[in-house]
């Protein structure tokens, strides 16, 4: 085994480099698996705001990875050399994780698709905790990768879905996967929508989208704030939202996926990894499709990739690092 690998590293604010870094070459623990990375998925909002634009460095970003197994711990069963597995790994050319914190990638799922189950898991946390049940009306605002996949997920589960984003390109991508109603703004002039929405899944981080969605909720409806509101965009006053919450008996909550345990626990069967397993199955059966959502990019060009994401110069919804030639 090589004693080093390559890792995308943020060395300063707005500075990404591909650096040679050491790896742990000690004997695998009995429950570990390891191998060469095939693909890693960038979570633009999390990685840009939480690391690329941070104040302290260096930082090693990463979100989701697929690797090819080349080493298996002595107690690991049903995993062999050459298998492909998903993990929540860094943007680096080698992965080493416990087997329970990884999942097999089925033959019907292309390697570059599999990291998207991490993004699917974000809105699946809301799906598994909301009191809204199919065929109720769900509003999804913000059609970046998380919102786009969220709209597909709720649609696949039998909900009526209205997907909203002001960006025409994102609207087009959403329509192409079969979501029947896609809008540029919350249709507050439509009496079949206003007061009829059971759940608002807010994936834009924009306070106007949050407020407009709450205006569309039925009494006792729910708004799950999935996207982090990284910055103020408007001059909206909190009283506008609070009045809706109080007089329409709304529930407004965080859509933070880590509300769920990593693995199933007594009296709580839903979990992060349980949702990942379901998401992988939905990719395998094409219940959710990601084939046209991303662009493959070279880790050597990490600085350009993150600058393009920062300045919104990409056409595809997501960027996936291709490690197969490194």
Domain 120-259 has CATH 3.20.20.70: no
How much is the pLDDT for 1?
Answer: 60
CA angle 281, 97, 112 (to 5 degrees): 45
Architecture of domain 4-113+291-322: Alpha-Beta Complex (3.90)
Up-side HSE of residue 27: CA atoms within 13 Å toward CB?
5
Instruction: Report the pLDDT value the prediction gives residue 269, as an integer from 0 to 100.
Output: 76
- The pLDDT, as a whole number, for residue 268 is 81
pLDDT number for residue 218: 98
The domain locations on the chain are 4-113+291-322, 120-259
- Which pLDDT belongs to residue 84? 98
- Contact 62/92 with Cβ under 8 angstroms? yes
Question: pLDDT truncated to tens, each residue of the chain (326 aa)?
Answer: 678 999 999 999 999 999 999 999 899 999 999 999 999 999 999 999 999 999 999 999 999 999 999 999 999 999 999 999 999 999 999 999 999 999 999 999 999 999 999 999 999 999 999 999 999 999 999 999 999 999 999 999 999 999 999 999 999 999 999 999 999 999 999 999 999 999 999 999 999 999 999 999 999 999 999 999 988 999 999 999 999 999 999 999 999 999 999 998 888 879 999 999 999 999 999 999 999 999 999 999 999 999 999 999 999 999 999 999 99
Cβ count near 141 (within 10 Å): 31
Q: What is the pLDDT of residue 116?
A: 98
d(CA 233, CA 150): 23
């Amino acid at each position: 085994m090589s004693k080093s690998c390559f890792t995308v590293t943020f060395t300063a604010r707005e500075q990404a480099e591909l650096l040679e870094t050491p790896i742990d070459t000690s004997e695998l623990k009995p429950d570990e698996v390891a191998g060469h990375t095939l693909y890693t998925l960038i979570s633009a909002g999390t990685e840009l705001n939480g690391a690329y634009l941070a104040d302290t460095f260096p930082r090693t970003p990463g979100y989701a990875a697929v690797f090819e197994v080349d080493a298996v711990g002595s107690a690991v069963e049903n995993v062999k050399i050459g298998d492909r597995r998903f993990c929540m790994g860094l943007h680096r050319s080698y992965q080493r994780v416990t087997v329970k914190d990884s999942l097999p990638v089925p033959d019907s799922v292309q390697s570059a698709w599999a990291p998207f189950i991490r993004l699917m898991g974000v809105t699946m946390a809301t799906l598994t905790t909301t009191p809204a049940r199919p065929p109720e009306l769900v509003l999804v605002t913000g059609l970046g990768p998380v919102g786009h996949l969220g709209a597909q997920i709720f649609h696949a589960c039998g909900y009526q879905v209205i997907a909203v984003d002001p960006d025409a390109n994102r609207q087009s991508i959403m329509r192409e996967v079969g979501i029947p109603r896609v809008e540029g703004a919350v249709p507050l002039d439509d009496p079949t929508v206003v007061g009829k929405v059971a759940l608002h899944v807010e994936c834009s981080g924009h306070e106007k989208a949050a407020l407009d969605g709450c205006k569309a909720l039925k009494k006792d409806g729910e708004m799950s704030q999935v996207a982090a509101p990284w910055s103020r965009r408007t001059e909206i006053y909190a009283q506008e939202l609070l009045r809706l919450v109080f007089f329409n008996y709304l529930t407004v909550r965080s859509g933070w996926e880590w509300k769920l345990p990593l693995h199933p626990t007594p009296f709580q069967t839903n979990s992060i990894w349980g949702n990942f397993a379901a998401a992988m199955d939905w990719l395998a059966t094409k219940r959710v499709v990601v084939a046209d959502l991303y662009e493959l990019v070279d880790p050597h060009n990490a600085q350009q990739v993150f600058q393009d994401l920062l300045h919104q110069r990409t056409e595809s919804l997501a960027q996936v690092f291709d490690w197969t030639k490194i």
